[in-house]
Amino acid sequence: MSEVLRLEGIRKSYGVTPVLRGIDLTVNRHEVIAVIGASGSGKSTLLRTINLLETIDDGQIWLADAAGTLEDISDPRAKADAIRARIGFVFQHLNLFPHLSVLDNVTLASRAVLRVPRATAEATGLELLDRIGLADKARAFPDQLSGGQQQRAAIVRAVATNPALLLLDEITSALDPELVGGVLELVRELGAEGATIVMATHEMAFAREVASRVVFLDQGVIVEQGTPAQVFGAPRQDRTREFLSRFMS
């Protein structure tokens, strides 16, 4: 198993409030990792630090390059824009750019960052949109799509550049319940196809079914991690048990 991402001793605080207090985590290729935890436990911050959208206070972040060699991306000299292009990121909401068509949204990173010719990028983009049943909406604007369609378009936009790692930050939290299923189904498919995914989620049933590993985060530290069966079925830590019982009830 080759490592895609390695976090060592990540610390981050906002002002005097510590959010991450020493996170160590290794992510291997084809793993689907579900990060669970209460609101404010640091899930979103963790994902943002991996994508270099936040600067960390201490620790190191290593990301595998195309050859599989780990590179320290927390080094300020690292090329942040090029690194972000190797990581797909989907936010809770407001992902798509409202002034660009759906197709332009999906192809933007390929065209502007990877300098793929428009025709090639659009062919790939249409394929991706076709896959999520939105080929006929390629020329539509994001506001003409439902929330679920927007999130699915945001996901294919994130994978359009073939990123080594996909980060999903509570992507169904802002959706109406009946729209959640389609979005999760797409994540399930991507996982089954071998994508490496780290997702912060409140969808426990989904995490249990799809994740290869579950990481429980509480007050900025990883309290427990393991297979879904172990973490959900037989949690070793009291804090995990407490969190899960609150969540399941």
Partner 1 sequence: MSDETAWQPSSIELGRRAVRRSRGMRSILIGLGSTLLFAAIVWITVVNTPGWSAVQKAFFDPETFVESIPLVAKGFLLNLRVLGYSVVSVAILGMLLAFLRTLRGPVFFPLRALATGYTDLFRGTPLIIVLYLVGFGIPALQGRTGSVIPAEILGTIAITLTYSAYVSEVLRAGIESVHPSQRLAARSLGLSHAQSMRIVLIPQAIRRVTPALMNDFVSMQKDVGLISVLGAVDAVRAAQIIKAQSFNFTPYVVAGLLFVLLAIPTIRFTDWYTARLRAREQAGSIV
* Residue whose C-alpha is closest to residue 10's, from 68, 73, 69, 66: 73
Residue that is written with structure tokens 């969540």 in the block: 247
Q: Residues binding partner 1: what is the number (CB under 8 A)?
A: 28
Piece in contact with partner 1 (CB under 8 A), picked from 63-71, 82-90, 119-127, 203-211: 82-90
| Window 145 to 174, contacts with partner 1 (CB under 8 A) | 157-158, 161
- 38, 78, 85, 126: which one binds partner 1 (CB under 8 A): 85
Q: Minimum CB separation from partner 1 for residue 81, in Å?
A: 5
Instruction: State yes or no: residue 129 binds partner 1 (CB under 8 A).
Output: no
Quote the CA–CA distance of 215 and 36 in Å, as a whole number. Answer: 6
Q: CA separation (Å) from 232 to 39, 112, 116, 178?
A: 18, 43, 44, 25
- Sorted by sequence, the CB contacts under 8 Å of residue 101 that are 6+ apart come out as 138, 139, 140, 141
> Smallest gap, in angstroms, from Cβ of residue 217 to partner 1?
21
Q: Which is nearer to partner 1, 52 or 187 (CB)?
A: 52
Closest CA to 35 of 167, 199, 184: 199
> Applying CB under 8 A, which residues contact partner 1?
51, 53, 81-87, 89, 91, 93-99, 108-109, 112-113, 141, 143-144, 157-158, 161
